[in-house]
Structure 1
Amino acid sequence: MTRQPPPLLVFSDLDGTLLDHESYDWTPARPALERLLRLGGGVVLATSKTAPEVATLRDEMSLSDWPAIVENGAGILAPGADGDSDREEYDCLRRALDGLPADLRGAFRGFGDMTDADVAKATGLAPQAAAKARTRAFSEPGLWSGTEAQEATFTKALAEHRITARRGGRFLTLSFGRTKADAMADLTDELRPRHTMALGDAPNDAEMIEAAEIGIIIPNPHGHPLPPLMGEAEGRIRRIDLPGPQGWNKAVGQVIDELELTKAGVAHG
Protein backbone atom coordinates (compact mmCIF):
# COMPACT_ATOMS: atom_id res chain seq x y z
CA MET A 1 0.00 0.00 0.00
CA THR A 2 1.33 3.46 -0.92
CA ARG A 3 1.31 5.84 2.04
CA GLN A 4 0.34 9.47 1.55
CA PRO A 5 3.06 11.88 2.75
CA PRO A 6 2.01 13.00 6.25
CA PRO A 7 1.44 16.72 6.85
CA LEU A 8 3.46 16.44 10.08
CA LEU A 9 5.74 13.61 11.14
CA VAL A 10 6.76 13.68 14.80
CA PHE A 11 9.92 11.90 15.94
CA SER A 12 9.62 11.35 19.67
CA ASP A 13 11.87 10.07 22.41
CA LEU A 14 10.06 7.92 24.98
CA ASP A 15 11.49 7.92 28.53
CA GLY A 16 11.05 11.37 30.05
CA THR A 17 9.44 12.72 26.87
CA LEU A 18 6.34 10.81 25.73
CA LEU A 19 6.56 8.56 28.81
CA ASP A 20 6.61 9.90 32.36
CA HIS A 21 10.01 9.22 33.96
CA GLU A 22 8.50 7.64 37.08
CA SER A 23 5.22 6.02 36.03
CA TYR A 24 5.92 5.34 32.32
CA ASP A 25 2.43 6.71 31.66
CA TRP A 26 1.85 8.30 28.24
CA THR A 27 -1.86 9.09 28.52
CA PRO A 28 -1.45 12.82 29.35
CA ALA A 29 -0.26 13.13 25.72
CA ARG A 30 -3.34 11.39 24.32
CA PRO A 31 -5.28 14.56 23.29
CA ALA A 32 -2.51 15.90 21.01
CA LEU A 33 -1.59 12.40 19.80
CA GLU A 34 -5.15 11.58 18.73
CA ARG A 35 -5.55 15.02 17.16
CA LEU A 36 -2.36 14.53 15.15
CA LEU A 37 -3.46 11.11 13.89
CA ARG A 38 -6.90 12.43 12.90
CA LEU A 39 -5.15 15.04 10.74
CA GLY A 40 -3.20 12.35 8.91
CA GLY A 41 0.04 12.99 10.78
CA GLY A 42 2.26 10.32 12.26
CA VAL A 43 4.58 9.56 15.14
CA VAL A 44 7.86 7.69 14.89
CA LEU A 45 8.92 6.55 18.35
CA ALA A 46 12.69 7.08 18.66
CA THR A 47 14.17 5.47 21.74
CA SER A 48 16.92 3.47 23.38
CA LYS A 49 14.31 0.78 24.06
CA THR A 50 14.41 -2.56 22.26
CA ALA A 51 12.16 -3.61 19.40
CA PRO A 52 10.06 -5.96 21.61
CA GLU A 53 9.48 -3.14 24.11
CA VAL A 54 8.56 -0.65 21.41
CA ALA A 55 6.24 -3.06 19.58
CA THR A 56 4.09 -3.31 22.72
CA LEU A 57 4.04 0.44 23.37
CA ARG A 58 3.39 1.22 19.72
CA ASP A 59 0.32 -1.02 19.76
CA GLU A 60 -0.98 0.67 22.91
CA MET A 61 -0.61 4.10 21.32
CA SER A 62 -2.29 3.08 18.03
CA LEU A 63 0.96 3.78 16.16
CA SER A 64 1.56 0.34 14.65
CA ASP A 65 1.13 1.72 11.12
CA TRP A 66 4.31 3.77 11.60
CA PRO A 67 7.94 2.65 11.81
CA ALA A 68 9.92 3.15 15.00
CA ILE A 69 13.57 3.87 15.76
CA VAL A 70 14.96 1.47 18.37
CA GLU A 71 18.13 1.14 20.44
CA ASN A 72 19.14 4.79 19.93
CA GLY A 73 19.02 4.61 16.13
CA ALA A 74 20.88 1.33 15.73
CA GLY A 75 17.75 -0.36 14.35
CA ILE A 76 14.38 0.43 12.74
CA LEU A 77 11.23 -1.49 13.61
CA ALA A 78 9.04 -1.82 10.52
CA PRO A 79 5.31 -1.01 10.71
CA GLY A 80 3.39 -3.92 12.19
CA ALA A 81 6.53 -5.92 13.10
CA ASP A 82 6.64 -7.73 16.45
CA GLY A 83 10.25 -6.94 17.32
CA ASP A 84 12.14 -10.18 16.58
CA SER A 85 15.71 -9.31 15.51
CA ASP A 86 19.05 -10.96 14.74
CA ARG A 87 21.43 -10.55 17.73
CA GLU A 88 24.74 -10.86 15.85
CA GLU A 89 25.60 -7.17 16.23
CA TYR A 90 24.84 -7.24 19.94
CA ASP A 91 26.97 -10.33 20.49
CA CYS A 92 29.87 -8.66 18.67
CA LEU A 93 29.53 -5.59 20.90
CA ARG A 94 29.53 -7.72 24.05
CA ARG A 95 32.70 -9.54 22.94
CA ALA A 96 34.49 -6.22 22.48
CA LEU A 97 33.25 -5.02 25.87
CA ASP A 98 34.44 -8.17 27.62
CA GLY A 99 37.88 -7.76 26.02
CA LEU A 100 38.56 -4.44 27.79
CA PRO A 101 40.97 -4.19 30.76
CA ALA A 102 39.38 -5.40 33.99
CA ASP A 103 39.27 -1.97 35.69
CA LEU A 104 37.36 -0.45 32.79
CA ARG A 105 35.11 -3.44 32.22
CA GLY A 106 34.27 -3.64 35.91
CA ALA A 107 33.08 -0.03 36.03
CA PHE A 108 30.37 -0.67 33.42
CA ARG A 109 27.40 -2.85 34.31
CA GLY A 110 25.36 -3.42 31.19
CA PHE A 111 21.92 -4.96 30.82
CA GLY A 112 23.67 -8.13 29.67
CA ASP A 113 25.39 -8.26 33.08
CA MET A 114 22.10 -7.92 34.93
CA THR A 115 19.17 -10.20 35.64
CA ASP A 116 15.61 -9.24 34.76
CA ALA A 117 15.15 -8.27 38.42
CA ASP A 118 18.26 -6.04 38.30
CA VAL A 119 16.97 -4.22 35.22
CA ALA A 120 13.55 -3.85 36.81
CA LYS A 121 15.17 -2.23 39.86
CA ALA A 122 17.40 0.07 37.78
CA THR A 123 14.60 1.23 35.48
CA GLY A 124 11.39 0.93 37.50
CA LEU A 125 9.97 -1.43 34.87
CA ALA A 126 7.77 -4.40 35.70
CA PRO A 127 9.63 -7.76 35.50
CA GLN A 128 8.04 -8.76 32.20
CA ALA A 129 8.92 -5.39 30.67
CA ALA A 130 12.45 -5.66 32.06
CA ALA A 131 12.88 -8.99 30.27
CA LYS A 132 11.99 -7.28 26.98
CA ALA A 133 14.46 -4.50 27.78
CA ARG A 134 17.21 -7.13 28.01
CA THR A 135 16.30 -8.64 24.62
CA ARG A 136 18.78 -6.48 22.71
CA ALA A 137 19.95 -6.73 19.12
CA PHE A 138 22.12 -3.66 18.52
CA SER A 139 23.19 -1.79 21.66
CA GLU A 140 24.02 -2.13 25.35
CA PRO A 141 22.84 0.39 27.97
CA GLY A 142 24.43 0.24 31.38
CA LEU A 143 25.34 1.99 34.61
CA TRP A 144 28.78 3.59 34.91
CA SER A 145 30.40 3.50 38.37
CA GLY A 146 33.92 4.73 37.52
CA THR A 147 35.42 8.20 37.46
CA GLU A 148 35.08 10.72 34.65
CA ALA A 149 38.72 10.09 33.69
CA GLN A 150 38.07 6.34 33.52
CA GLU A 151 34.98 6.95 31.42
CA ALA A 152 37.06 8.90 28.90
CA THR A 153 39.54 6.00 28.73
CA PHE A 154 36.67 3.52 28.46
CA THR A 155 35.13 5.46 25.58
CA LYS A 156 38.48 5.74 23.77
CA ALA A 157 39.12 1.99 24.13
CA LEU A 158 35.69 1.16 22.70
CA ALA A 159 36.22 3.55 19.80
CA GLU A 160 39.02 1.27 18.60
CA HIS A 161 36.26 -1.30 17.98
CA ARG A 162 34.03 1.35 16.25
CA ILE A 163 31.78 1.40 19.32
CA THR A 164 30.44 4.71 20.61
CA ALA A 165 29.26 5.50 24.14
CA ARG A 166 26.40 7.99 24.46
CA ARG A 167 24.61 9.31 27.52
CA GLY A 168 20.84 9.13 27.72
CA GLY A 169 18.52 10.15 30.53
CA ARG A 170 19.63 7.32 32.84
CA PHE A 171 22.22 5.13 31.16
CA LEU A 172 25.45 5.11 29.19
CA THR A 173 24.59 3.26 25.97
CA LEU A 174 27.10 1.51 23.72
CA SER A 175 26.48 0.92 20.00
CA PHE A 176 28.20 0.81 16.62
CA GLY A 177 27.57 4.46 15.99
CA ARG A 178 24.23 5.00 14.27
CA THR A 179 22.17 7.67 15.97
CA LYS A 180 18.51 8.59 16.19
CA ALA A 181 19.26 11.41 13.75
CA ASP A 182 20.71 8.94 11.21
CA ALA A 183 17.56 6.79 11.34
CA MET A 184 15.38 9.90 11.25
CA ALA A 185 17.06 11.01 8.00
CA ASP A 186 16.39 7.62 6.40
CA LEU A 187 12.72 7.65 7.38
CA THR A 188 12.22 11.27 6.34
CA ASP A 189 13.57 10.41 2.89
CA GLU A 190 11.22 7.44 2.71
CA LEU A 191 8.03 9.03 4.07
CA ARG A 192 8.47 12.57 2.64
CA PRO A 193 6.49 14.48 5.30
CA ARG A 194 5.49 18.10 4.70
CA HIS A 195 6.84 19.09 8.12
CA THR A 196 9.04 17.33 10.70
CA MET A 197 9.15 17.77 14.45
CA ALA A 198 11.34 16.10 17.07
CA LEU A 199 11.03 16.01 20.85
CA GLY A 200 13.48 14.77 23.47
CA ASP A 201 14.98 15.42 26.88
CA ALA A 202 18.48 13.90 26.89
CA PRO A 203 21.89 14.31 25.19
CA ASN A 204 21.23 11.36 22.87
CA ASP A 205 18.21 13.29 21.50
CA ALA A 206 20.13 16.47 20.64
CA GLU A 207 21.10 15.58 17.06
CA MET A 208 17.57 14.45 16.27
CA ILE A 209 16.11 17.67 17.71
CA GLU A 210 18.57 19.77 15.70
CA ALA A 211 17.81 17.88 12.47
CA ALA A 212 14.06 18.47 12.60
CA GLU A 213 12.27 21.46 11.12
CA ILE A 214 10.86 22.12 14.61
CA GLY A 215 12.66 20.84 17.70
CA ILE A 216 11.30 20.66 21.23
CA ILE A 217 13.42 20.21 24.36
CA ILE A 218 11.43 18.61 27.18
CA PRO A 219 12.72 19.41 30.69
CA ASN A 220 14.30 16.48 32.53
CA PRO A 221 14.06 16.80 36.33
CA HIS A 222 16.38 13.78 36.67
CA GLY A 223 19.30 15.17 34.65
CA HIS A 224 21.21 18.28 33.66
CA PRO A 225 19.46 20.59 31.19
CA LEU A 226 20.58 20.24 27.59
CA PRO A 227 23.00 23.00 26.52
CA PRO A 228 21.84 25.51 23.90
CA LEU A 229 21.32 23.67 20.60
CA MET A 230 21.93 24.81 17.05
CA GLY A 231 18.74 26.53 15.93
CA GLU A 232 17.57 27.47 19.39
CA ALA A 233 18.62 31.14 19.21
CA GLU A 234 16.41 31.77 16.17
CA GLY A 235 13.44 29.90 17.65
CA ARG A 236 13.46 26.82 15.40
CA ILE A 237 14.21 24.84 18.56
CA ARG A 238 12.37 25.73 21.73
CA ARG A 239 12.07 24.58 25.33
CA ILE A 240 8.69 23.64 26.74
CA ASP A 241 7.89 24.36 30.39
CA LEU A 242 6.22 21.06 31.31
CA PRO A 243 7.95 17.68 31.72
CA GLY A 244 7.17 14.35 30.10
CA PRO A 245 3.87 13.65 28.35
CA GLN A 246 2.31 16.87 29.65
CA GLY A 247 5.00 18.85 27.85
CA TRP A 248 4.65 16.61 24.77
CA ASN A 249 0.91 17.26 24.66
CA LYS A 250 1.36 21.01 24.95
CA ALA A 251 4.17 21.24 22.39
CA VAL A 252 2.54 19.06 19.71
CA GLY A 253 -0.78 20.88 20.12
CA GLN A 254 0.95 24.24 19.72
CA VAL A 255 2.77 23.14 16.57
CA ILE A 256 -0.42 21.79 14.98
CA ASP A 257 -2.00 25.20 15.62
CA GLU A 258 1.03 27.13 14.34
CA LEU A 259 1.19 25.13 11.11
CA GLU A 260 -2.58 25.58 10.70
CA LEU A 261 -2.95 21.94 9.74
CA THR A 262 -6.65 21.93 10.60
CA LYS A 263 -7.31 24.93 8.33
CA ALA A 264 -5.21 23.43 5.57
CA GLY A 265 -7.83 20.76 5.03
CA VAL A 266 -5.50 17.84 5.64
CA ALA A 267 -7.82 15.77 7.79
CA HIS A 268 -8.17 12.24 6.51
CA GLY A 269 -11.63 10.62 6.66
Structure 2
Amino acid sequence: MPQPLPLLLFSDLDGTLISHDTYQWDAARPALSRLRSLGAGVVLASSKTAPEIIALRAQMGLDDWPAIVENGAGLLKAHASETPPDNDYLRLRDALAQLPKVQRAPFEGFGDLTVEQVAKITGLTIADAQNAKMRSFSEPGLWHGSDSKRAAFLNALSQHGITAREGGRFLTLSFGQTKADRMAEIIATCRPQFTVALGDAPNDVEMLQAADYGVIIANPHRAPLPPLKTEAKGRILRTTLSGPEGWNNAVLDLVEQLNI
Protein backbone atom coordinates (compact mmCIF):
# COMPACT_ATOMS: atom_id res chain seq x y z
CA MET A 1 0.00 0.00 0.00
CA PRO A 2 1.23 3.56 -0.69
CA GLN A 3 2.47 5.46 2.33
CA PRO A 4 0.09 8.15 3.63
CA LEU A 5 1.12 11.75 2.97
CA PRO A 6 2.95 12.81 6.16
CA LEU A 7 2.47 16.54 5.79
CA LEU A 8 0.69 18.92 3.45
CA LEU A 9 1.75 22.54 3.67
CA PHE A 10 -0.19 25.51 2.28
CA SER A 11 1.78 28.71 1.79
CA ASP A 12 1.04 32.26 0.83
CA LEU A 13 3.71 33.84 -1.39
CA ASP A 14 4.20 37.63 -1.23
CA GLY A 15 5.47 38.62 2.20
CA THR A 16 5.51 34.96 3.31
CA LEU A 17 7.54 32.55 1.15
CA ILE A 18 8.64 35.42 -1.09
CA SER A 19 10.37 38.52 0.26
CA HIS A 20 8.21 41.65 0.25
CA ASP A 21 11.21 43.73 -0.82
CA THR A 22 13.18 41.54 -3.24
CA TYR A 23 10.64 38.97 -4.51
CA GLN A 24 13.26 36.31 -3.77
CA TRP A 25 12.65 32.99 -1.98
CA ASP A 26 16.18 31.50 -1.85
CA ALA A 27 16.33 31.70 1.96
CA ALA A 28 13.61 29.02 2.11
CA ARG A 29 15.55 26.45 0.06
CA PRO A 30 16.72 24.40 3.09
CA ALA A 31 13.16 23.90 4.35
CA LEU A 32 11.81 23.15 0.86
CA SER A 33 14.55 20.56 0.40
CA ARG A 34 13.73 19.03 3.78
CA LEU A 35 10.05 18.80 2.93
CA ARG A 36 10.87 17.14 -0.39
CA SER A 37 13.06 14.54 1.33
CA LEU A 38 10.20 13.71 3.69
CA GLY A 39 7.71 13.23 0.87
CA ALA A 40 5.65 16.19 2.13
CA GLY A 41 3.52 18.29 -0.19
CA VAL A 42 3.66 22.06 -0.68
CA VAL A 43 0.65 23.89 -2.13
CA LEU A 44 1.24 27.50 -3.11
CA ALA A 45 -1.77 29.65 -2.14
CA SER A 46 -1.61 33.17 -3.45
CA SER A 47 -3.35 36.14 -5.00
CA LYS A 48 -1.04 35.63 -7.99
CA THR A 49 -2.40 34.49 -11.35
CA ALA A 50 -2.00 31.07 -12.95
CA PRO A 51 0.82 32.24 -15.29
CA GLU A 52 2.72 33.68 -12.32
CA ILE A 53 2.21 30.53 -10.24
CA ILE A 54 3.14 28.19 -13.10
CA ALA A 55 6.56 29.83 -13.39
CA LEU A 56 7.20 29.98 -9.64
CA ARG A 57 5.96 26.46 -8.99
CA ALA A 58 8.38 25.12 -11.59
CA GLN A 59 11.30 27.10 -10.15
CA MET A 60 10.57 25.76 -6.67
CA GLY A 61 10.23 22.17 -7.88
CA LEU A 62 6.58 21.94 -6.79
CA ASP A 63 4.93 20.89 -10.07
CA ASP A 64 3.65 17.68 -8.48
CA TRP A 65 1.21 19.67 -6.35
CA PRO A 66 -1.86 21.77 -7.18
CA ALA A 67 -1.82 25.49 -6.44
CA ILE A 68 -4.44 27.95 -5.21
CA VAL A 69 -4.52 31.03 -7.42
CA GLU A 70 -6.10 34.49 -7.28
CA ASN A 71 -6.87 34.34 -3.54
CA GLY A 72 -8.77 31.06 -3.83
CA ALA A 73 -10.96 32.14 -6.73
CA GLY A 74 -9.25 29.49 -8.86
CA LEU A 75 -7.38 26.18 -8.56
CA LEU A 76 -4.43 25.20 -10.75
CA LYS A 77 -3.98 21.45 -11.14
CA ALA A 78 -0.64 19.73 -10.67
CA HIS A 79 1.57 19.95 -13.78
CA ALA A 80 -0.92 22.29 -15.48
CA SER A 81 0.79 24.76 -17.80
CA GLU A 82 -2.15 26.57 -19.40
CA THR A 83 -4.04 29.62 -18.17
CA PRO A 84 -7.69 28.90 -17.20
CA PRO A 85 -10.50 30.64 -19.14
CA ASP A 86 -11.18 34.27 -18.13
CA ASN A 87 -15.00 34.14 -18.08
CA ASP A 88 -15.23 35.14 -14.39
CA TYR A 89 -12.82 38.02 -14.90
CA LEU A 90 -14.79 39.42 -17.83
CA ARG A 91 -18.02 39.22 -15.81
CA LEU A 92 -16.32 41.00 -12.92
CA ARG A 93 -15.03 43.81 -15.13
CA ASP A 94 -18.50 44.18 -16.64
CA ALA A 95 -20.01 44.55 -13.15
CA LEU A 96 -17.46 47.28 -12.36
CA ALA A 97 -18.39 49.09 -15.58
CA GLN A 98 -22.05 49.14 -14.55
CA LEU A 99 -21.35 51.16 -11.38
CA PRO A 100 -21.89 54.94 -11.41
CA LYS A 101 -18.65 56.69 -12.37
CA VAL A 102 -18.35 58.52 -9.07
CA GLN A 103 -18.60 55.21 -7.19
CA ARG A 104 -16.27 53.34 -9.53
CA ALA A 105 -13.53 55.98 -9.82
CA PRO A 106 -11.66 55.42 -6.49
CA PHE A 107 -10.93 51.78 -7.38
CA GLU A 108 -7.91 51.37 -9.65
CA GLY A 109 -7.79 47.74 -10.77
CA PHE A 110 -5.11 45.93 -12.73
CA GLY A 111 -7.45 46.03 -15.71
CA ASP A 112 -7.35 49.83 -15.58
CA LEU A 113 -3.55 49.93 -15.68
CA THR A 114 -0.92 49.36 -18.33
CA VAL A 115 1.72 46.67 -17.89
CA GLU A 116 4.22 49.41 -17.05
CA GLN A 117 1.95 50.85 -14.36
CA VAL A 118 1.41 47.40 -12.79
CA ALA A 119 5.19 46.91 -12.78
CA LYS A 120 5.65 50.25 -11.03
CA ILE A 121 3.13 49.72 -8.22
CA THR A 122 4.15 46.09 -7.59
CA GLY A 123 7.89 46.24 -8.16
CA LEU A 124 7.59 43.39 -10.68
CA THR A 125 9.55 43.14 -13.89
CA ILE A 126 7.68 43.96 -17.10
CA ALA A 127 7.41 40.26 -17.95
CA ASP A 128 6.05 39.40 -14.50
CA ALA A 129 3.66 42.36 -14.59
CA GLN A 130 2.31 41.05 -17.90
CA ASN A 131 1.59 37.71 -16.22
CA ALA A 132 -0.04 39.52 -13.29
CA LYS A 133 -2.49 41.14 -15.71
CA MET A 134 -3.45 37.78 -17.26
CA ARG A 135 -6.33 37.23 -14.87
CA SER A 136 -9.04 34.57 -14.95
CA PHE A 137 -11.02 34.93 -11.73
CA SER A 138 -10.35 38.12 -9.76
CA GLU A 139 -9.35 41.79 -9.90
CA PRO A 140 -6.83 43.28 -7.47
CA GLY A 141 -6.56 47.01 -7.18
CA LEU A 142 -5.83 50.07 -5.08
CA TRP A 143 -8.56 51.97 -3.24
CA HIS A 144 -8.09 55.75 -3.32
CA GLY A 145 -11.28 56.84 -1.55
CA SER A 146 -12.60 57.11 2.00
CA ASP A 147 -13.65 54.15 4.14
CA SER A 148 -17.33 55.13 3.85
CA LYS A 149 -17.14 55.29 0.06
CA ARG A 150 -15.35 51.96 0.02
CA ALA A 151 -18.20 50.41 2.04
CA ALA A 152 -20.74 51.74 -0.46
CA PHE A 153 -18.62 50.51 -3.37
CA LEU A 154 -18.42 46.99 -1.93
CA ASN A 155 -22.13 46.98 -1.10
CA ALA A 156 -22.95 47.83 -4.71
CA LEU A 157 -20.70 45.04 -5.98
CA SER A 158 -22.28 42.56 -3.57
CA GLN A 159 -25.48 42.91 -5.62
CA HIS A 160 -23.51 41.20 -8.41
CA GLY A 161 -22.24 38.43 -6.12
CA ILE A 162 -18.80 40.03 -5.84
CA THR A 163 -16.85 39.99 -2.59
CA ALA A 164 -13.55 41.61 -1.56
CA ARG A 165 -10.46 40.33 0.22
CA GLU A 166 -7.64 42.44 1.66
CA GLY A 167 -4.16 41.11 0.93
CA GLY A 168 -0.67 42.40 1.55
CA ARG A 169 -0.96 45.28 -0.92
CA PHE A 170 -4.29 45.23 -2.74
CA LEU A 171 -8.06 44.99 -2.38
CA THR A 172 -9.01 41.97 -4.49
CA LEU A 173 -12.50 41.44 -5.94
CA SER A 174 -13.92 38.05 -6.90
CA PHE A 175 -17.08 35.95 -7.01
CA GLY A 176 -16.26 34.27 -3.69
CA GLN A 177 -14.20 31.19 -2.82
CA THR A 178 -11.31 31.66 -0.43
CA LYS A 179 -7.93 30.06 0.07
CA ALA A 180 -9.50 28.04 2.90
CA ASP A 181 -12.24 26.72 0.59
CA ARG A 182 -9.67 25.43 -1.90
CA MET A 183 -7.52 24.12 0.92
CA ALA A 184 -10.42 21.96 2.12
CA GLU A 185 -10.87 20.50 -1.36
CA ILE A 186 -7.19 19.54 -1.61
CA ILE A 187 -7.09 18.07 1.90
CA ALA A 188 -10.13 15.91 1.13
CA THR A 189 -8.27 14.46 -1.85
CA CYS A 190 -4.77 14.08 -0.36
CA ARG A 191 -5.73 13.10 3.21
CA PRO A 192 -2.45 14.13 4.89
CA GLN A 193 -1.51 13.19 8.45
CA PHE A 194 -0.79 16.84 9.31
CA THR A 195 -1.56 20.18 7.67
CA VAL A 196 0.34 23.44 8.07
CA ALA A 197 -0.57 26.87 6.66
CA LEU A 198 1.69 29.92 6.51
CA GLY A 199 0.68 33.51 5.73
CA ASP A 200 1.02 37.15 6.72
CA ALA A 201 -2.15 38.98 5.65
CA PRO A 202 -5.89 39.15 6.47
CA ASN A 203 -6.74 37.02 3.43
CA ASP A 204 -4.69 34.19 4.99
CA VAL A 205 -6.56 34.08 8.32
CA GLU A 206 -9.14 31.44 7.39
CA MET A 207 -6.43 29.24 5.92
CA LEU A 208 -4.24 29.64 9.02
CA GLN A 209 -7.10 28.65 11.32
CA ALA A 210 -8.20 25.70 9.19
CA ALA A 211 -4.80 23.96 9.37
CA ASP A 212 -3.57 21.74 12.18
CA TYR A 213 -0.84 24.33 12.64
CA GLY A 214 -0.75 27.89 11.35
CA VAL A 215 2.27 30.16 11.12
CA ILE A 216 1.96 33.94 10.91
CA ILE A 217 5.05 35.23 9.13
CA ALA A 218 6.27 38.59 10.42
CA ASN A 219 5.85 41.41 7.90
CA PRO A 220 7.26 44.77 8.99
CA HIS A 221 5.51 46.46 6.05
CA ARG A 222 2.02 46.00 7.51
CA ALA A 223 0.24 45.97 10.85
CA PRO A 224 0.48 42.51 12.46
CA LEU A 225 -2.57 40.29 12.37
CA PRO A 226 -4.65 40.45 15.56
CA PRO A 227 -4.67 37.43 17.92
CA LEU A 228 -6.49 34.54 16.25
CA LYS A 229 -8.95 32.12 17.85
CA THR A 230 -6.66 29.08 17.95
CA GLU A 231 -3.50 31.02 18.80
CA ALA A 232 -3.94 30.69 22.57
CA LYS A 233 -4.13 26.90 22.16
CA GLY A 234 -0.68 26.82 20.57
CA ARG A 235 -1.98 25.89 17.13
CA ILE A 236 -0.90 29.19 15.59
CA LEU A 237 2.65 30.44 15.91
CA ARG A 238 4.33 33.72 14.96
CA THR A 239 7.81 34.25 13.57
CA THR A 240 10.22 37.00 14.50
CA LEU A 241 12.04 36.85 11.18
CA SER A 242 10.14 38.02 8.10
CA GLY A 243 9.62 36.54 4.63
CA PRO A 244 11.45 33.43 3.46
CA GLU A 245 13.88 33.53 6.41
CA GLY A 246 11.00 33.30 8.87
CA TRP A 247 9.28 30.70 6.67
CA ASN A 248 12.40 28.53 6.55
CA ASN A 249 12.95 28.54 10.31
CA ALA A 250 9.29 27.94 11.13
CA VAL A 251 8.96 24.97 8.78
CA LEU A 252 12.17 23.31 9.99
CA ASP A 253 11.08 23.79 13.61
CA LEU A 254 7.62 22.34 12.96
CA VAL A 255 9.02 19.31 11.15
CA GLU A 256 11.13 18.57 14.23
CA GLN A 257 8.21 19.24 16.58
CA LEU A 258 5.91 16.88 14.67
CA ASN A 259 8.65 14.23 14.53
CA ILE A 260 7.93 13.46 10.89
* TM tier, smaller: over 0.9
Question: How many angstroms apart in 1 are the aligned matches of 2:82 and 2:121?
Answer: 23
- Write the distance in 1 (CA, Å) between the matches of 2:25 and 2:104: 35
Partner residue, 1:112? 111
CA distance in 2, matches of 1:172, 1:195: 31
Map of 1:195 onto structure 2:
194
Q: Which amino acid in structure 1 is aligned with residue 158 of structure 2?
A: A
1:223 is matched with which residue?
Answer: 222
CA displacement 1:91-121 (0-9 Å, x = unmatched) = 0000001111212210001000011101100
The alignment of Structure 1 onto Structure 2 pairs a total of residues equal to 260
**Where does 1:1-269 land on structure 2 (aligned, <5 Å)?**
5-261=4-260
Counterpart Cα distance in 1 of 2:69 and 2:29: 22
Alpha-carbon contact 1:108-1:145 (below 8 Å) kept: yes
1:179-213 CA-partner distances (Å, limit 9, x unpaired) = 00000000000111110000000000000000000
Q: 1:156 & 1:136 partners in 2: Cα distance?
A: 23
**Residue 9 of structure 1 contacts residue 195 of structure 1 at CA under 8 Å; is this kept in 2?**
yes
Distance 1:10 1:3, change over 3 A: farther
Deviation at 1:167, TM superposition (A): 0.6
Q: Report the RMSD for the aligned CA atoms in angstroms.
A: 1.1
- Cα deviation, residue 33, structure 1: 0.7
Percent identity over the alignment is 58
Structure 1 segments, 4+ long, off by >2 Å, are 2-5
Q: Which residue of 2 aligns with 1:264?
A: none
* Letter in structure 2 aligned against 1:233: A
* Alignment gaps of 5+ in structure 2: none
- The amino acid that maps onto 1:35 is R
Normalising by structure 1, we get a TM-score of 0.95
Deviation, structure 1 residue 85: 1.0
- Secondary structure, counterpart of 1:66 in structure 2: coil
Contact 1:77–1:83 (CA under 8 A) maintained in structure 2:
no
- Whole-angstrom distance in 2 between the partners of 1:104 and 1:55: 35
C-alpha change, 1:144 and 1:3, in structure 2 (3 Å) is: farther
**Letter of the structure 2 residue corresponding to residue 160 of structure 1:** Q
